[in-house]
Structure 1
Amino acid sequence: MGALRPLPYRVPLIDGESTGSYITRLAIRHGESVGHLLATVGEGKSAAEVDPRLSELYLNAAARQRLAALGGRPLAQLTRALASLRDEHLLPGRPETAEWKWPWRPHSGFLVRGCALCAARRGVFDTVWLIRPDPWHICVRHGRFHDTSRDDRMPFVDLSPGPHVVQAEHRRIHLVRRLGPVGRLLVADAFAVLAHPEGLLPRLGTSRTTPLRLLPAAIHLAHRMAGLERLRLDHRLVHSDYSRWLKKAQGDLGQRLSVALEHWSQLHKPLQLPPLPHCRAARVQVRDYRQPASPHLRAVPEMAPVNALTCLRWDVLARDRHPYG
């Protein structure tokens, strides 16, 4: 394939948008079919003319470069906005051959409706679909809850009657921004604690609005966990810290979660330090705190759901493919 000239019109980028949603908007803006644009991007196959609300479009590195050229965008700008174009989600392939694939279902993550008011602020009035690690998204700017529902009659849930949910989402964003991958792991562990059978709480995925009920408690718990985890990763955790933390957490969250909380704390025991004289040099410093450690994965996949991130494994795992959501 030869060099591409950019299309006449550049469509605005939406942070977190799926690649399929973006190329659909690009095609609509230029009065072309998605299939025609894809033929320009590279060689590939799809299950059908896939609706962007149903599945995600994946490219290899060469096709990604061609899409950036077609849209008139620097590659770095495009990959910042479209998560599925980042390196970890690229299709394998020969560097000289541009290829794409549009399967029946996303390889990872969930397609969640984007906030129409946020899109309109960018001059976008078509429906936007985001690719997210969780099957929901809360717009803190406009107080709207969006999920994977494709029902255009009720595209969102208005959260103005429940401002505590928006406040909890603000706290979640701040926690993940401050702690990075560790923050995501702690949020996943908090949802997993709430999923313990003795807690008698609904689990993620049991109804559309379950996340709204669980999120404030989960984020409160994740902040509690962060205090203990900070001591652990700084190699300052001692036995008395466990008992003090557990007693305070149980007081906040109730005795029904005692078993789950104790289980979590026991999995997060002090890290083993290397033998002297290298011990001091190996200590985890504040600037290094964004890195996860045992019992969690060293690498935190961008689109991993709760059940893939948490270190907790309850008996619900044996009964449900997606036990937490």
Structure 2
Amino acid sequence: MTKRTAAATQGDSLFDAVNAEPEPASKPAAKPRPKPLKPADLPLHAPLIHGETTASLLVRTGAANAVAPDLLLKALHAGRLTVPAAGVQPQQHEVRMSAEALERLAKLLDRPAEQLQRALPGLRAEQLLDEPGAVVRLVPWPEELGAGPLRACPLCMEDGAWLTADGHRWRPCPCGRRWMGGDDGGFLLETSLLPDLGRALVRHRAMDHHLGPAGDALVADAHQVALWWWVNKQVAADRWKERADALGCGRHLKRAAPAVVYPEVMTLAEAMGRWEQQRRKTDASAAEWLAEVAEAFEVPGIERGREREPLRYWLQLHPAGAEPAGDTSAERRWSQLPRLHHRPAEHGPWRATSCLRWTFGQPLTSTTAICPYCQGRALSCAWSPAPDCPEKPGSSDG
């Protein structure tokens, strides 16, 4: 073959290649389905943290075993399950599941279901989905204050863990070195620089030990009063500002407020405990008690000035002439509290809620909405409608 003939043949081949009909595109190969998870795929157990959210435990378990949390969710759910592109975010979502899904989780984690239910509030019987089969739901946390989870202390729990709030927007870690908050997407305050806060926690534990849940409820009341004073720059405003500065919260004073008032909260709570004893007598004098509190704080306005305002509401709910009932001292102390106090499910500090219903961060002198039952007449609903309004049909004592 001559050089010319070879070149022509090569040219014809290139022409044919360029103008040839394209071959039909082949379908992309289907992604293989991941194999169902087995307990052997999760050899490392994330330690259980009492009060942790379910989503938090699943994320920590997945991280410990290099397993994506969405695979864990899908292993608990029968059928197709859509997970957000961002994945499971414990600070934004909680995982709810049915009883059968809980059994699947118990088998995967190689833990008894009862053990999981004791540790995780979201897995307790009353929180399980009432649906047949293995069902999992990824549910956003409600937007109202106190609904979102608290960022857990990384010193004595685990970095990245989240705790259920149970209506509390903040509380100190039991170690006393961190305050855990749920506002603003969750935050932590290092409080070890302020020993007074640690001492306040010790006093709180002592009061709870001595008086039981009633003592914790009085601390909740005192905390509400102190936050009222904080908002109005009363009683110990300069001292609270110094503590907030020491915590490095100059730009986030509202985050610091619940922590920096703690020592004064305990002083007031202990005084409230004395009034609870005094008011069992019909002739107990609220005016004399206010004078004692004013002297303890060295603030005359607590007795007859603007600083008295939040205590005036409290005394309306805790009047003289209480008639305690019950077989034990703890039962009698609890029975004489107003019905707006509800016995906490667990014992210990920062479990009870207050009978004073203003919300820190919202107006103290106006109503944000009108209660449809009492029209705002009841103290429970003076600031916003309360689920335990005494005029609500079917309302009963807590």
Runs of 4+ that moved beyond 6 A: 149-152
User: Per-residue CA shift, 1:191-215, capped at 9, x if unaligned?
Assistant: 2223447953589x96221122222
Gaps of 5+ in 2: 1-37, 241-251, 370-382, 385-398
Q: Secondary structure at the match of 1:316?
A: coil
Equivalent of residue 76 in structure 2, options 11, 16, 41: 41
Please identify, of 215-224 and 242-251, the stretch whose mean Cα deviation from structure 2 is larger. Answer: 242-251
Q: Distance in 2 between matches of 1:188 and 1:46?
A: 38
User: Per-residue CA shift, 1:88-147, capped at 9, x if unaligned?
Assistant: 4x04413x423332222258633222222213xxxx5x5222222433342353622333
Residue 286 of structure 1 aligns with which residue?
Answer: 329
CA distance 1:230–1:36, change in 2 (3 Å): farther
Following superposition of structure 1 onto structure 2, how do residues 22-101 of structure 1 map, counting pairs within 5 Å?
22-42=57-77, 49-88=87-126, 90-94=127-131, 96-101=132-137
Residue 179 of structure 2 aligns with which residue?
Answer: 145
Aligned-partner residue type, residue 93 of structure 1: D
Identity %: 28
CA distance 1:61–1:210, change in 2 (3 Å): same
Q: Does the aligned pair in 2 maintain the 1:140–1:170 contact within 8 Å? A: no
Q: Distance in 1 between matches of 2:326 and 2:309?
A: 31
User: Per-residue CA shift, 1:160-194, capped at 9, x if unaligned?
Assistant: 33110121123234434554543343222212223
- The size of the alignment, in residue pairs, is 296
Q: Does the aligned pair in 2 maintain the 1:190–1:219 contact within 8 Å? A: yes
Residue 169 of structure 2 aligns with which residue?
Answer: 135
Residue 161 (1) aligns with residue 198 (2): no
- Deviation at 1:69? 2.8
- Deviation at 1:288? 1.8
Larger Rg: 2
Residue 247 of structure 1 aligns with which residue?
Answer: 291
Coordinate RMSD, CA, aligned: 3.8
Residue 16 of structure 1 aligns with which residue?
Answer: 51
Residue 295 of structure 1 aligns with which residue?
Answer: 339
Q: Secondary structure at the match of 1:229?
A: helix
CA distance 1:179–1:93, change in 2 (3 Å): farther
- Deviation at 1:18? 1.6
Following superposition of structure 1 onto structure 2, how do residues 103-118 of structure 1 map, counting pairs within 5 Å?
103-106=139-142, 109-118=147-156
Q: Does the aligned pair in 1 maintain the 2:59–2:88 contact within 8 Å? A: no
- Deviation at 1:238? 3.2
Aligned-partner residue type, residue 106 of structure 2: A
Q: Does the aligned pair in 2 maintain the 1:45–1:101 contact within 8 Å? A: no
The two structures have a TM-score, normalised by structure 2, of: 0.62
Residue 223 of structure 1 aligns with which residue?
Answer: 270
The two structures have a TM-score, normalised by structure 1, of: 0.73
Q: Distance in 2 between matches of 1:262 and 1:150?
A: 31
Gaps of 5+ in 1: 274-281
Q: Distance in 1 between matches of 2:188 and 2:133?
A: 41
Work out which structure has the larger RCO, using CA pairs closer than 8 Å and 6 or more positions apart in sequence: 1
CA distance 1:182–1:287, change in 2 (3 Å): closer
